[in-house]
Structures are given as C-alpha cells and as structure tokens.
Amino acid sequence: MAALGGFVEFFQKGKTFRPKKKFEPGTLKYSLHKQAQASLNSGINLRHVVKLPPGEDLNDWIAVHVVDFFNRINLIYGTVCEYCTVDSCPTMSGGPRFEYLWADGQKYKKPTSLPANQYISLLIDWIESQINDESIFPVTVDVPFPKSFISLCKKILTRLFRVFVHVYIHHFDRIVAIGAEAHVNTCYKHYFYFVNEFYLINPKELEPLKEMTAKICNQIY
C-alpha cells in the first residue's frame, strides 16, 4: 500500500495545483497528522486506519483528514490540470449524466455552469480559505471548533469528491500514462473509507463512481 510519503514523493515529480497546507510542529493537529500517517505507513488495512483512535477528539481527527485529503487531491489535480482546459472540459462534469454547478453565495449567488478548470480553481480557493481560518480550523486546543464544523467538513469533502469524479472520468488516461494509478486508487480508497466511517457524504453524491468504488473498495450498494 502506498503511504502518504511515497504518494507525495511520487506526485512532486509533477506539479502541485496549489501550495500544500501544513501543520505546525508541536501542535495537536501535527501529532494527529503524524499518528495517521504512521498508521498508513504500517500497512494496516485502510478500513481500520480511518477509525478514531481511543481518547482522541472526533473534530480534531476530521480536521486533520480534511486537510490531508485537500493536499492529496490538490497534488492529483496538479498532474492533469494542463490537460483540463476550457476546450477539453467546458463543464465540470463526471460523464454525460453528471454536471456540477458552482455557487458560493458571493460572486456566484445562483448555481452556475463553469468550465471544469475554473470550477476546480474556485473550489480549491474556497477550501483554502476555510482551512486557513483559525476560527474554523483552530490550531490550538484552547480555541473551540465552531458548532457548524462538521456540516462545513461535509461540504468540503463533498466538493473534493467532485474532483475525484472529474479526474477519474475525464483524465484517468493521464494518471495511467504517468504510472500513478495505484497511488490515486489508494488515495481514493482512504478517502472513501473515511467519509463512510463518519457519514460525511450523502450516498447519492457517490453515484458517479459507484461501479469503480464497488470494484476497488469492495463496497456493496
């Protein structure tokens, strides 16, 4: 199984779509991040890796994973973004049956059809603004998580899933061409088991990758 170290090392041969978000050494989040990566490195089954460690806070555990998944999906999209253009991907879609519309309540008040690269750029910017806001993702134990934290994480993880959908359906030939298929599949499985463990995504959202998920995650719907 590819652990995060190998995953990052592999994808840094290409380019990162956005700079990585890092945890500060000495903080609880950094410790949990290291604990989570140690479990991955040990080769433990991914279904067990995602479970909340005894005595740890659920919000902290979810926060660490949201940032990690953001970093990994950011790296994955960075390898295909030059092939994801207005001409090649005029809509943010996952095949002919699924199109994602962008709304942020500010510039885009109504759900709006956008080219995939523009949609994903706005998505990444939006997630960055959330995870860099220390009132939402506190970096010290004396700052409490907001009451809306879990619902916000569900929204972040749902939107990140849409990047998986677009990459798998429209750009997987590029992933295969650079030999990254196993790395991306491991990242997806880790993501899927995590959101499934803590009920962080509506099962309907998973529909575009239903067949692939059943195959690589041994998931029966």
Domain annotation covers residue 186? yes
Binding residues for Zn(2+): 84, 89, 166, 171
Instruction: Report the CATH number that the domain containing residue 176 is assigned in CATH.
Output: 1.20.140.30
Give whole-number Cα distances, 59 to 27, 115, 141, in Å: 15, 34, 11
Greatest CA separation for the chain: 50
Tens digits of residue pLDDT in 41-93: 545 688 888 999 899 899 999 999 999 899 889 889 999 999 999 999 999 99
Domain annotation covers residue 181? yes
DSSP 220: -
**Into how many domains does the chain fold?**
1
CA nearest neighbour of 77 among 41, 28, 117: 117
Confidence tier at 1 by pLDDT (50, 70, 90): very low
Domain annotation covers residue 221? no
What is d(CA 92, CA 166) in angstroms, rounded to the nearest whole number? Answer: 7
Helix, coil or strand: residue 17: coil
pTM over 0.95? The answer is no
* Domain encompassing residue 10: 4-216
Domain annotation covers residue 139? yes
Confidence tier at 218 by pLDDT (50, 70, 90): confident
Binding residues: 84, 89, 166, 171
- Say whether pLDDT at 109 is over 60: yes
